[in-house]
Amino acid sequence: MTSTDTPETIASPTPATATKPSPPAAVVNGAPVMLALHQKALGGPEVLRLTELPRPVPGPGEILVAVHAAGLNPTDFKHRALSIFLPPPPLTLGWDVSGTVAATGFGVTLFKPGDEVFGMLPYPYGHGSHAEYVTGPTRAFVRKPAGLDHVQAAALPLAALTAWQALVETAGLTAGQRVLIHAAAGGVGHLAVQLAKERGAHVTGTATAPKHDFLRELGADACVDYRSEDFTDAEERYDVVLDTLGGENATRSVSVLRPGGVLVSLLPFGQDTVAAAEKAQVRAVTLLVEHDRAGMRAISDLVQRGRLRVHVSDTFPLAEGARAHALAETGRTMGKLVLTVR
């Protein structure tokens, strides 16, 4: 979806202020439109503009979702500033979504208009949920549990799938194992703590001291204040390390793994990490999250059974998406930020 031949109608909100838009016209030049948090250039939060764009149409095997809320993840503000996986702008970011099915494409049998669903658009090329409507493949979604509101549902998919695919599917975490989770109070981290405890593991999390009580409430057995403690100084050895920082942190994490252990990093690491892993006889891999209906069903089941809960630290209207990006980039929030659309 691009803004070619479609004018911007709303001025860009800034990190400090928000502009409340007037309701857009339902139709422009005979085509339905929607509002989207759109950008025509790479850069800071100020490049984000609330823009009228053509409303997408679901293709075969796709559904059109009227977005109620959309999660914000680090990958959003990184792609806003840099061309990582996606082509250069114009583009609308966002992978997390919770909403109501507005229309179905040819061959769709799982959902019908009116169904409440949530999921993660195929990463990285299926972006576009920071808008009033978005299309995606049917099997990227599952039904939203009745007891979960749209804000909570929108906060879950990308972060929860990342934690699930890292700990359960990649590392094969089992009861009695010991796991170290870096940035454990963050979006992925706080869900990974809960998933690891659900698997019966002993969990240590790194975070600043003020966040330790939060981690213990989630079930963490031990906490490390990375500002005043070095996690490599302890004699503790782990079966699994979930690294959300990459780079040097990944290399240093190898040293606290037992032989046969697994380092799962969410960011690239260099040859020094590869060499250290080979020497220590551990496995080191980088994970790129994938949309996965089976994983989403497992996550939904855990939520319904009260075994997994997402912490939403703040919400922002779509018109104030730039402010949300600015806050997210500080790295100081616990849990998730969510954009509200309806």
Q: Domain spans of the chain?
A: 27-156+310-340, 159-286
Query: How much is the pLDDT for 3?
Result: 36
Regions of the chain with pLDDT less than 50: 1-25
CATH of domain 159-286: 3.40.50.720
Query: How much is the pLDDT for 262?
Result: 98
Alpha helices, DSSP H, located in the chain: 74-81, 150-155, 157-164, 187-198, 212-218, 248-254, 271-280, 293-304, 321-328
Strand partners, 269: none
Query: How much is the pLDDT for 79?
Result: 97
CATH of domain 27-156+310-340: 3.90.180.10
Task: Tell me the two tokens of residue 77.
Answer: 């503000």
The predicted-structure confidence for 127-137, as pLDDT tens digits, reads as follows 999 999 999 99
Residue 38 parent element (H or E): strand 31-39
Under 8 Å between Cβ of 311 and 334:
yes
Query: How much is the pLDDT for 11?
Result: 30
The predicted-structure confidence for 80-137, as pLDDT tens digits, reads as follows 999 899 999 999 999 999 999 999 999 999 999 999 999 999 999 999 999 999 999 9
Q: How far apart are CA 51 and CA 24, in angstroms?
A: 9
Strands 257-265 and 283-286: parallel
Q: How far apart are CA 173 and CA 167, in angstroms?
A: 6
Specify the pTM.
0.91
Residue 312 parent element (H or E): strand 312-317
